[in-house]
Structure 1
Amino acid sequence: MKKHPFMTTLLFILVIIISLIIYNNSLNTVNVPSNVIENIVKNDLEPTAGVKSFGGKVFCDYSIVISEEKYGEINVYLWLYSQELYVDSNQIKSGTGTIDPAVLHLKKENSTYALKDFYISTEAAGSDSMRKFPIRVRNKFKSNNYNFSYDTKLYDRAKEYFKI
Structure 2
Amino acid sequence: MIREFRQEDTQQLLDIYNHYVLNSTATFDDEVLSFEEFTKKVNRINSEYPFIVFEENHELLGYAYGSKFRPKPAYSNTVESTIYLKHTAQGKQIGTKLYSYLIKLLNEQGFHVVLGVLTLPNEASVKLHEKLGFKKVAHLKEVGLKFGDWQDVGFYQLKFG
Query: What is the TM-score of this pair, normalised by structure 2?
Result: 0.30
Q: Which has the larger radius of gyration?
A: 1
Query: What is the TM-score of this pair, normalised by structure 1?
Result: 0.30
